[in-house]
Amino acid sequence: MKISTKGRYGLYFMLSLARDYGVKKRSVKSVATERNISDLYLEQIVANLKKDGLVKSTRGAYGGYELNHPPDEITVGQIFAAVEESIIVVDTDDHESKNESYLWKRIKDAVNDVLDHTSIHDIIDNDTDDFDGYMFYI
């Protein structure tokens, strides 16, 4: 499985908002600068997060983005679903045996379980804010 830059950047953005939850709003530009990524590209990703109701924005001098729900209510699976085209754990074919299909289904279910039961609060609580050091490959 490979998580694209959309997924990683969406997660970075959400973690930045989660760290400041209830304290301040963040601009796309500030997070993009912090992560040394294109603010135009991040803006496209944030639009999908907003469309799916994960973030909300406020205009004006004290405006910016904030989480639409508490960090413990937003899962990594929701973020990836909002920004990734698809997450394929294993691409199967018609020539596989029942046993192989069973294995791939178990792997897919395990990955989905982790994504759907890991909140951004969980990640922050585990003090893993340096995602640049992690490879999102399985």
d(CA 4, CA 128) in angstroms, rounded, equals 19
Domain assignment present for 64: yes
Confidence of residue 83 (pLDDT cuts 50, 70, 90): very high
Q: Considering the domain boundaries, does residue 110 fall inside one? A: no
CA distance 10 to 29: 14
Reported pTM:
0.84
Residue 37 covered by a domain: yes
Residue 101 inside a domain? The answer is no
DSSP string, 29-93: HHHHHHHT--HHHHHHHHHHHHHTTSEEEE-STT-EEEESS-GGG-BHHHHHHHH-S---S----
107-137: b (≥16 Cβ within 10 Å) or e: ebeebeeebeeebbbebbeeeeeeeeeeeee
C-alpha–C-alpha distance, residues 28 and 38, integer Å? 10
- Residue 108 in any domain: the answer is no
Do the domain assignments include residue 109? Answer: no
Q: Tell me the pLDDT tens digit for each residue of 21-38.
A: 999 999 999 999 999 999
Residue 79 lies in a domain: yes
How many structural domains compose the chain?
1
Residue 129, domain extent? 5-85+119-133
pLDDT confidence bin for 130, thresholds 50/70/90: low
In a domain, 10, yes or no: yes
Q: What is the pLDDT of residues 44-71, one digit of tens each?
A: 999 999 999 999 999 988 889 999 999 9
**What number is the average pLDDT over the span 3-30?**
94
> Which pLDDT value is given to residue 136?
45
Residue 95 or 47, more confident: 47
Say which CATH number the domain at 59 has. 1.10.10.10
Task: Kindly give the pairing relationship between strand 64-67 and strand 55-58.
Answer: antiparallel
User: What percent of the chain stands above pLDDT 70?
Assistant: 86
